[in-house]
């Protein structure tokens, strides 16, 4: 096979040092960053290591294992042409392989990057095409290592200096149903590829994650239940049949997804394949330097001197200032006239680097009655990860408080200013006169999940978890 047989093959003027690549392949380990709730700041975390020569991440690459499973299932060895297409077309690495125009540039901009950031994509393509041309079939591990090696070379890093590569991923698959639970099988595939795998669970107060996810979903759906003229009955039928999803809501049922992902994460932690550590988003944001230095010590790498520059430190993506990937930012979540208001551009610009604001914003975004409800739903996760309850709960209540479950939630009951938005008045008044059956049924469904099905009470190994010093970056255990 030659490079010309592959997609986008170019004259490989830039070659590989095959001895260095062989040493890199045999030496490098993987840090799998698991953001189970989806809003714990995984892109922020990757950007922190944007310029690190020993721990190589690409803030433009996400969900490598999830996408692999989507395309290849459980296959570990695939045809080289198919693997090349995975890198160049199907997965997030296409943002590096293809020029940053059209949809590629728009996605880079959306996730906080600069489409014009210096990155020699012709060189990256040449490296990818050349290394893939050597074999008829390739393993999943080879595809991952080669992609990150090519990225590192283009960024000017030496393969001889690299100890670790980092990939952020989810514990759920698009094909899985949150009510049935998630397999978190990506951790098994990663452990198969990297026997000394480091699983780094990035956690965040589940109420903050809920507020962020709900905010994005409500605005992107157009309303809490994704109701429109043509889909009312279909949407109601889905809720009646307990067919809930992040794709169609209800938006506030993202709490079900979060809890299912939490349970999947903890079951994999209990299985104990690879090395497991937990790091809190709040510790990174409010105690940045001690936390990041502790992490470097854990990983056996030197700190980036830029981290020690105090307020002058700028988080970067491909060497350019990163603009953030927040659900409250109008750059990422582009609906600016939705039921819930975004942060101002000025606030979003300040909430990019390590800061306390992003750890406390949820407290002003969630009313007291809903905080009590979330304390109940997320009782186990709040307890396990050492967060404080909004209300003094000694144990998880068996029933949801009536005043909380039946009260309206942010973005659920329309406000006058939202209803009177020009060009959208008819569809929004349609929501006003038709959402009440959803309002009632959603609460019946949530009460059943919590009180009868015990869905939010599955963490039967909490005592084991609390006795283990897994929060190595907090200076003390979670006891």
Output 395-402 pairs: Cβ under 8 A, ≥24 positions apart: 396/456, 396/457, 398/451, 399/450, 399/451, 400/373, 400/376, 400/446, 400/447, 400/450, 400/451, 401/372, 401/373, 401/376
Answer whether the bond into residue 467 is a cis peptide, omega within 30°. no
Q: Is residue 369 part of a domain?
A: yes
List of E strands, 318-361: 320-321
Q: Which strands make up the sheet holding 164-169, listed edge to edge?
A: 55-57, 164-169, 29-34, 198-203, 275-280
pLDDT band at residue 15 using 50, 70 and 90 as cut-offs: confident
Per residue in 122-178, pLDDT tens? 999 999 999 999 999 999 999 999 999 999 999 999 999 999 999 999 999 999 999
152 and 222 within one domain: no
Write out the residue range of the structural domain in which residue 9 sits: 3-170
| Boundary (domain end) residue, out of 147, 170, 193 | 170
Distance between CA atoms of residues 292 and 301, nearest Å: 11
Which of 171, 202, 361 minimizes the C-alpha distance to 283? 202
413 and 331 within one domain: yes
- At 393 the pLDDT is 84
Domain count, the chain: 2
Report the pLDDT averaged over residues 248-259: 96
433 and 344 within one domain: yes
Q: Is residue 232 part of a domain?
A: yes
451 and 369 within one domain: yes
Distance between CA atoms of residues 190 and 129, nearest Å: 24
380 and 234 within one domain: yes
Q: Is the pLDDT of residue 476 over 60?
A: no
Q: Is residue 127 part of a domain?
A: yes
Distance between CA atoms of residues 259 and 377, nearest Å: 8
Distance between CA atoms of residues 35 and 281, nearest Å: 10
Q: Is residue 292 part of a domain?
A: no
Distance between CA atoms of residues 277 and 299, nearest Å: 11
Per residue in 353-375, pLDDT tens? 899 999 999 999 999 999 999 99
Judge contact between 465 and 479, C-beta under 8 A. Answer: no
| Boundary (domain end) residue, out of 145, 170, 195 | 170
Strands 55-57 and 29-34, bridge-based pairing: unpaired
| Boundary (domain end) residue, out of 170, 190, 220 | 170
164 and 18 within one domain: yes
241 and 126 within one domain: no
pTM: 0.92
Q: Is residue 141 part of a domain?
A: yes
402 and 333 within one domain: yes
Report the pLDDT averaged over residues 41-45: 95
Q: Is residue 318 part of a domain?
A: no
Q: CB neighbours of 34 closer than 8 A, spacing ≥ 6? A: 168, 169, 170, 171, 187, 199, 200, 201, 202, 265
Handedness of CA 59, 165, 262, 287 (dihedral sign): negative
Vertex 469 angle, CA 282 and 450, to 5°: 65
Cβ neighbours around 447 below 10 Å, total: 16
Average the pLDDT over each of 12-16, 66-70, 472-476 and give the range with the smallest value.
472-476
420 and 333 within one domain: yes
Per residue in 183-200, pLDDT tens? 999 999 999 999 999 999
For residue 139, what are the β-bridge partners? Answer: 77
Q: Is residue 201 part of a domain?
A: no
Per residue in 337-349, pLDDT tens? 888 998 888 898 8
Q: Is the pLDDT of residue 440 over 50?
A: yes
Q: CB neighbours of 351 closer than 8 A, spacing ≥ 6? A: 324, 326, 328, 329, 343, 357, 358, 361
370 and 222 within one domain: yes
Q: What share of the chain is helix, strand, coil (3-state, %, to 5)?
A: 50, 10, 45
Vertex 345 angle, CA 343 and 350, to 5°: 90
Angle between helices 140-155 and 186-193 (to 10 degrees): 80
427 and 358 within one domain: yes
Which of 2, 62, 442 minimizes the C-alpha distance to 226? 442
Q: Is residue 276 part of a domain?
A: yes
215 and 139 within one domain: no
């Amino acid at each position: 096979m030659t490079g010309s047989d592959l997609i986008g093959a170019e004259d490989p003027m830039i070659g590989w040092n095959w001895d260095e690549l062989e040493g890199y392949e045999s030496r490098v380990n993987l840090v799998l960053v698991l953001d189970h709730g989806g809003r714990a700041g995984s892109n922020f975390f990757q950007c922190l290591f944007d310029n690190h020569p020993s721990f190589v991440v690409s803030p433009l690459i996400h969900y490598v294992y999830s996408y692999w499973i989507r395309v290849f299932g459980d296959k570990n060895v695939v045809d080289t042409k198919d693997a090349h297409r995975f890198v160049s077309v199907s997965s997030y690495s296409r943002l590096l392989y293809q020029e940053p125009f059209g949809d590629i540039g728009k996605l880079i901009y959306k996730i906080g990057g600069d489409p014009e950031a210096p990155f020699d994509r012709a060189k990256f393509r040449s490296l990818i095409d050349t290394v893939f041309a050597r074999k008829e079939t390739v393993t999943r591990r080879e595809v991952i290592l080669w992609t990150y090696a090519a990225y590192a070379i283009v960024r000017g890093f030496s393969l001889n200096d690299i100890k670790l590569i980092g990939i952020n991923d989810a514990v759920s698959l698009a094909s899985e149903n949150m009510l049935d639970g998630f397999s978190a099988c990506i951790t098994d595939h990663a452990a198969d590829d990297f026997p000394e795998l480091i699983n780094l669970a990035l956690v965040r107060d589940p109420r903050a994650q809920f507020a962020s996810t709900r905010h994005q979903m409500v605005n992107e759906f157009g309303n809490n239940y994704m109701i429109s003229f043509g889909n009312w009955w279909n949407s109601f039928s889905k809720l009646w049949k307990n067919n809930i999803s992040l794709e169609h809501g209800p938006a506030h049922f993202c709490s079900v997804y979060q809890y299912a992902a939490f349970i999947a994460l903890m079951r994999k932690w209990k299985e104990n394949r690879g090395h497991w550590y937990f790091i809190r988003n709040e510790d990174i944001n409010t105690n940045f330097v001690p936390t990041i230095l502790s992490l470097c010590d854990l990983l056996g790498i030197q700190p980036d001197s830029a981290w020690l520059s105090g307020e002058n430190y700028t988080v970067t993506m491909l060497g350019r200032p990163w603009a953030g990937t927040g659900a409250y930012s109008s750059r990422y979540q582009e609906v600016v006239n939705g039921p819930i208001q975004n942060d101002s551009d000025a606030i979003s610009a300040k909430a990019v680097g390590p800061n306390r604001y992003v750890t406390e914003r949820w407290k002003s975004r969630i009313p007291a009655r809903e905080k009590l409800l979330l304390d109940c739903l997320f009782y186990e996760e709040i307890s396990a990860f050492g967060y404080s309850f909004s209300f003094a709960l000694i144990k998880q209540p068996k029933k949801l408080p009536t005043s909380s479950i039946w009260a309206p939630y942010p973005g659920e009951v329309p406000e006058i200013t939202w209803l009177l938005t020009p060009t959208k008045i008819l569809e929004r008044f349609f929501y006003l006169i038709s959402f009440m059956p959803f309002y009632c049924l959603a609460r019946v469904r949530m009460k059943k999940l919590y009180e009868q099905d015990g869905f939010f009470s599955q963490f039967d190994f909490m005592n084991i978890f609390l006795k283990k010093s897994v929060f190595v970056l907090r200076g003390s255990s979670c006891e």
